[in-house]
Amino acid sequence: MFRTALSLVLATSLAAGAYTEPYRPQFHFSLPHSWMGDPNGLVYENGQYHLYSYGTWEGATSTDLVHWQNLPVTGPQRDAGSNAFFSGSAVVDTHNTTGFGTVRNPPMVAMYTSVQEGSGIQAQSLAYSTDHGKSWTRYDGNPVLDLGSKDFRDPKVFWYEPAHDWRMVITLSDQHKVSVYESPDLKQWKHLSDFGPFGSVSGVWEMPDLFPLRVDGGRVRWVLSVSVGSTGVQYFVGTFDGTTFTPDGPATYTPPAGVPLENFESGSYGDWTTTGDAFGTAPASGTLPDQQAVSGYVGTHLVNSYNGGDRSTGTLSSPEFTITKPHLNFAIGGGQHPYVEGATPFGTLPPGEVFADFSGSTYGAGWTATGSFAGAGPTPSSLPNQLGPQVLDTFTPAGDAGTGTITSPVFTISRPYIDLQVAGGNHPWGQPNPTAVNLLVDGNVVASATGPNAPDLTWNNWDVSAYQGKQAQVQVVDDNTGTSGWGHLMVGDILLADSPAKPWDVQTGVNLVVDGKVVRSATGANSEVLDWTSWDLQDLIGHRAHLEVVDHNSGGWGHVLADDFRLSDSPASSTNERAHWMDFGSDFYAANTWNGTGGKRVGIAWMSNWAYAGQVPTSPWQGATTFPRDLSLRTINGTVQLAQQPVPAITSLRGPAVHIKATTNGTKPLALNGDTLEIQATLRPGTAKRFGLNVRAGGTQYTQIGYDTRSKKLYVDRTHSGAVGFSPSFADVKSAPLDLVNGELTLRILVDRSSVEVFADQGQVTLTDQIFPDPTSRGITAFADQGTSSTTLTAWPLRSTWH
């Protein structure tokens, strides 16, 4: 994977008292004192399952995939000229094709991505072990495969018995492709084929895997999985002939029919009206001058606001119409700049005075800097929402590795508000290694702001009315070296103001307006590929409305694409909604399976998310793996789907069973509690609109695992799960489409001290989420909204695997 590499840390044996810290997983694997990244080097040998962590090669072994023994692993050393090594895989070279061992003592061989210092070129390298994975030696002939690419990574190697040689799948990550290679000896590689782009391309492709499974225990199909940015892990079912993977199913999608609201195919806007210059005088016939290739539109014409480039702005409005169908479907692309209620025109500022705009050659008169920033100054930039030509940027001059402070001179707080623009890393003050802007009064931090983990300068508003007349300083603190991303901060204008600065209207999107108010909105995904979206309008049928296609953005990706607006009886599905996902939760990524397990296939994934992986409130470790899962292919509703269940050895952790039956109207406490539980439940909706279970409940805290009968979706809501404020990306609700079977919902739930894993029905739908509740939040409740539901469950407390 493309990550900043961590220093090599040797695994240590389990110290007395370890694995008892707050939030420490008790039956999910985590490293004793280190960052846990992608699960790497998964290989089964002589009754031992081997597991290593990306970037560190710290390792562990298990005989049952439940109880783990940490290994004091040595190596491999980095390749000459390489400043990092990324994810990879391991095999046992039974036939000693590499010559690294003997047939009697075959070597374990790891293939991984090494990253060249300076250029960032990603190439594939080998290391080998002749002592069962305890120590590793770098191959002198590295790299064994080099395309000169910065986006060529994460090799998964396996033995292909029909050809009696090796196969490898690896990603061309920025091209959304998986390449297939063959080799007789793991050293010499021949390119065979490429697969993709296909399915979801909402993020870079990483961590591929390819393996066979029998469908319902019969015919063999192959499963290709690939991680997609921070979106999740998608999979394809198809055939593999040793050279090419071919997915089952159609390659195209036809949205539901409906009543059109435009006729852009005529080459005219018709009775739609425009303002500004962004939309031109008629629909575009595809790609406009100087624009990247546009695709995904229907027919030959579409709305394209790139007329004159990103700097042009304007609106395109439909005539008023009556909403007569429950859904409005359309295709959208372009910039990802959503509608914000109450936003004001770009550049609108409240009354006041500019305290700092960093427009000079220094930070300003009286500003002082320490650490990496001593002697540095403002940085010319063009960030979204930037007002002047320069910003304070702690990436200058030492990159993410740079740390220090930048402090203003003492000033008098003369207005009731301090408004400031902040971008960059989201590492709040009060947490380890902050990237924060602080207001100091009498030497104490009385207000603080951090970035959004994005380059967009965002307004922060401090109410300082209680400190008016006092002496103060603004201090920018960067104590983060970026090992988990965004280890720097950007600060734009700072104002002493009479009121809070409002967000600016920089949207690129489509709005539905009813009675003068925006009631639905959609934006692009920073892509020239249009994708389908759908609005549920059941509550608006009979209302008069009109559509507005809006481009109020003159910066990067400052345009919108739209096409084929139709009122319909059923919703269209986006590419991500049509994709097959291994897990629908927030914390399932970099999935991988063990080599060498014979006919069965066991998988595991990184249980975290790059949006907040470096900010989770855990110490002295960060990150864990999902609980190992048995994978199978099953025919469900006429479709072959990947199904997953916890490996059977979890039953070795069970305590005495608890059996409960309950009928619920509202919220009902159950005679069950705990912070490490396995729950098997059958739920019936009755008359309820939503129903399910709340786990790790206590006071105002709970994690809700529920089913919405209207949307027919299973969901996990962690917005009230405990500590959620460490990142703006954490508090969320994730859902998955799921039909009830015979009117029932069957769930298997694994609850650990900082996670929930939900397996629905036959395991065809799973959701995995981290949670950080108080230790005292141990209750379980059943809930039913707007009606009644019934619950029958059996639960077991689970013992720790570490004590």
What is residue 174's three-state secondary structure?
Answer: helix
Say if residue 640's pLDDT is above 70.
yes
What is residue 540's three-state secondary structure?
Answer: helix
Average pLDDT, integer, range 306-335: 97
Q: What are phi and psi of 46, to 5 degrees?
A: 50, 45
**Residues 585, 607: Cα–Cα separation, whole Å:** 10
Say if residue 568's pLDDT is above 60.
yes
What is residue 173's three-state secondary structure?
Answer: helix
Question: Cβ atoms within 10 A of the Cβ of 465, count?
Answer: 10
| pLDDT score for 1 | 40
**Residues 557, 311: Cα–Cα separation, whole Å:** 9
What is residue 493's three-state secondary structure?
Answer: strand
pLDDT tens-digit profile of 377-392?
Answer: 999 999 988 999 999 9
Closest CA to 469 of 412, 416, 408: 412
| pLDDT score for 558 | 95
How confident is residue 432, by pLDDT bands cut at 50, 70 and 90? confident
How confident is residue 17, by pLDDT bands cut at 50, 70 and 90? low
**Residues 570, 771: Cα–Cα separation, whole Å:** 35
Half-sphere exposure in the Cβ direction for 702 (13 Å, CA): 19
Average pLDDT, integer, range 224-243: 96
Burial class (CB in 10 A: 0-12, 13-18, 19+), 412: exposed
What is residue 467's three-state secondary structure?
Answer: helix
Q: What single string gives the DSSP state of each residue in 621-677?
A: -B--BPPPEEEEEEEETTEEEEEEEE-GGGGGGB-S-EEEEEEEEEEEEEEEE-SSE
398 and 478 in contact (C-beta within 8 Å)?
no
| Average pLDDT for the chain | 94
- 313-322, 409-418, 468-477, 609-618: range with lowest mean pLDDT: 609-618
| pLDDT score for 599 | 83
Say if residue 527's pLDDT is above 50.
yes
| pLDDT score for 249 | 80
According to DSSP, the β-strands at 245-247 and 232-240 are antiparallel
| pLDDT score for 4 | 28
How confident is residue 31, by pLDDT bands cut at 50, 70 and 90? very high
**Residues 207, 222: Cα–Cα separation, whole Å:** 17
Which pair of tokens denotes residue 335?
């910039």
**Residues 207, 590: Cα–Cα separation, whole Å:** 6
Q: What single string gives the DSSP state of each residue in 397-438?
A: TTGGG--EEEEPPPEE--SSEEEEEEEE--B-TTSSS-EEEE
How confident is residue 270, by pLDDT bands cut at 50, 70 and 90? very high
How confident is residue 529, by pLDDT bands cut at 50, 70 and 90? very high
Percentage of residues of the chain with pLDDT beyond 90: 87
Say if residue 10's pLDDT is above 80.
no
Say if residue 768's pLDDT is above 80.
yes
**Residues 428, 723: Cα–Cα separation, whole Å:** 14
Average pLDDT, integer, range 544-550: 98
Average pLDDT, integer, range 353-365: 96
pLDDT tens-digit profile of 680-717?
Answer: 999 999 999 999 999 999 999 999 999 999 999 999 99
What is residue 376's three-state secondary structure?
Answer: coil
Q: What single string gives the DSSP state of each residue in 537-576?
A: -GGGTT-EEEEEEEE---STT--EEEEEEEEESS----HH
608 and 477 in contact (C-beta within 8 Å)?
no
Average pLDDT, integer, range 294-307: 97
584 and 345 in contact (C-beta within 8 Å)?
no
Per-residue DSSP letter, 364: -
- 116-125, 306-315, 712-721: range with lowest mean pLDDT: 116-125
Percentage of residues of the chain with pLDDT beyond 70: 97
What is residue 270's three-state secondary structure?
Answer: coil
Say if residue 82's pLDDT is above 80.
no
104 and 77 in contact (C-beta within 8 Å)?
no
How confident is residue 72, by pLDDT bands cut at 50, 70 and 90? confident
Average pLDDT, integer, range 573-601: 96
Burial class (CB in 10 A: 0-12, 13-18, 19+), 150: middle
**Residues 721, 782: Cα–Cα separation, whole Å:** 16
Distance, CA of 90 to chain centre: 26
Average pLDDT, integer, range 550-560: 94
| pLDDT score for 605 | 98
Which pair of tokens denotes residue 759?
């397996």
| pLDDT score for 2 | 32
Which residues, other chains included, contact 516 with Cβ-Cβ below 8 Å and sequence gap of 6+?
A: none
Say if residue 462's pLDDT is above 50.
yes
Cα maximum dimension of the chain: 82
How confident is residue 728, by pLDDT bands cut at 50, 70 and 90? confident
Burial class (CB in 10 A: 0-12, 13-18, 19+), 665: middle
**Residues 749, 681: Cα–Cα separation, whole Å:** 8
Closest CA to 166 of 145, 151, 188: 188
Catalytic residue list: 38
Q: What single string gives the DSSP state of each residue in 300-356?
A: T-BEE--TTSTT--EEEEPPPEE--SSEEEEEEEE--B---TT-EETT---SEEEEE
The three state secondary structure string of 697-719 is EECCEEEEEEEECCCCEEEEECC
Say if residue 3's pLDDT is above 60.
no
| pLDDT score for 5 | 27
88 and 94 in contact (C-beta within 8 Å)?
no
Q: What are phi and psi of 174, to 5 degrees?
A: -75, -20
| pLDDT score for 16 | 44
